[in-house]
Structure 1
């Protein structure tokens, strides 16, 4: 059974594939936060801006098999059946993404990406691995295509990750506009991130362009 909060076709808004048309499948659940505001301050990740509880989002639902989920997702891709690209995200998609779903999506012609916190092992066959560290817990996924660190996180410094085997290193300014307390203005985190990248050229700036463009 796959439990999906929402699924939609849009543009990738951040990171190395910013601007690329993509099909997004957001799984429910996460291993770093329950998703409930009452537990946020006690959780491993305290700044998440995503709703991943339940299946009541756009095109959400429960699917008994990989084939049924493929059918559901594939109907969202435009008529031109080329360049098919799906991003599995969450919550934490590693809780649900498995060999059966990867195989089924690949047979349908999809390139498969995942956006993960990196604390859980991944199945084989994923084409693009983006790890976004959120906790002091040791990373299980220590190599991939893209490491994207939300900045600043005072318990996680960029230089902790520079020896890992990733192709690209991105810093993304922390957006706390959804929080009701302890907010750092976005312009302040943007300035801090910009300055860090200028001083440490290994890192590139990632902006959440989907928020700027007001798209999903």
Structure 2
């Protein structure tokens, strides 16, 4: 049984794959926060802005097996597989997707011609076969997944310096500002803003690439 909060066709909004047409499949549940506001201050991850509770979102539901969820995802891809000029792409996210994403579902998506990506907090090891692994560390939660395609760190986080991760086996290291709401209308960050802090860190540490949530800027899901 898989519990999915929502699943929909969109553009990947952040990271190295930003701009790529994708089906997003958001699993319900997380191991670092219950998703309930009354639990936020006691959670290991306190800044999450995503609703991952329940199965009542767009395209959400409960799926009895890997085949039924894979077929649901295929239906959300708006082209015949292989006919759009690009490889169909599914991003499993959450919450924490590795609580549910398993070898059976990965295999089912590959059988249907999809590339498989995951966006995880890294506290659980990823099953084999995933084509793109993005790890986004949160708070003081220990990492179990210490390699992958990109490490995307929301910045700044208290007591979580980027240098802690720079020796890990990732192809890309991205730093993403915690909040861009303090950027004024003329788009010049103030010195105290997370945006400015992120810009300055990337300029001083070129291993790290500057990353934005472009889907929020563009107003897409």
Q: What is the TM-score when the length of structure 2 is the normalising length?
A: 0.92
In 2: Cα distance, 1:162 partner to 1:201 partner: 11
**Are 1:2 and 2:2 an aligned pair?**
yes
Equivalent pair of 1:47/1:176 in contact (CA under 8 Å): no
Shift of 1:176: 7.9
- 2:200 pairs with one of 190, 195, 199: 195
Which aligned runs of 4 or more in structure 1 are off by greater than 3 angstroms?
Answer: none
**Are 1:213 and 2:213 an aligned pair?**
no
Equivalent pair of 2:5/2:26 in contact (CA under 8 Å): yes
- 2:139 pairs with one of 135, 140, 152: 135
**Are 1:39 and 2:39 an aligned pair?**
yes
Segment of structure 1 superposing worse, 134-143 or 44-53: 134-143
Aligned pairs, number: 209
Equivalent pair of 2:33/2:45 in contact (CA under 8 Å): yes
- Give the aligned partner of residue 89 of structure 1: 93
Deviations 1:52-83 (A, max 9, x none): 00001001000001111011111010124231
Shift of 1:41: 0.6
- 1:170 pairs with one of 174, 178, 191: 174
In 1: Cα distance, 2:63 partner to 2:172 partner: 34
- Give the aligned partner of residue 71 of structure 1: 71
Deviations 1:58-114 (A, max 9, x none): 010000011110111110101242311000000000000001101100000110000
SS in 1 for 2:163: helix
Shift of 1:169: 0.2
Equivalent pair of 1:151/1:171 in contact (CA under 8 Å): yes
Q: What is the TM-score when the length of structure 1 is the normalising length?
A: 0.94
In 2: Cα distance, 1:110 partner to 1:89 partner: 16
In 2: Cα distance, 1:176 partner to 1:35 partner: 22
In the alignment, structure 2 segments of 5+ residues that lack a partner are: 184-188
Equivalent pair of 1:32/1:44 in contact (CA under 8 Å): yes
- 2:102 pairs with one of 98, 102, 124: 98
What value does the CA root-mean-square deviation take over the aligned residues?
A: 1.1
Equivalent pair of 2:139/2:158 in contact (CA under 8 Å): no
In 1: Cα distance, 2:180 partner to 2:14 partner: 17
In 1: Cα distance, 2:205 partner to 2:120 partner: 24
In the alignment, structure 1 segments of 5+ residues that lack a partner are: 178-184
SS in 2 for 1:195: helix
In 2: Cα distance, 1:79 partner to 1:15 partner: 24
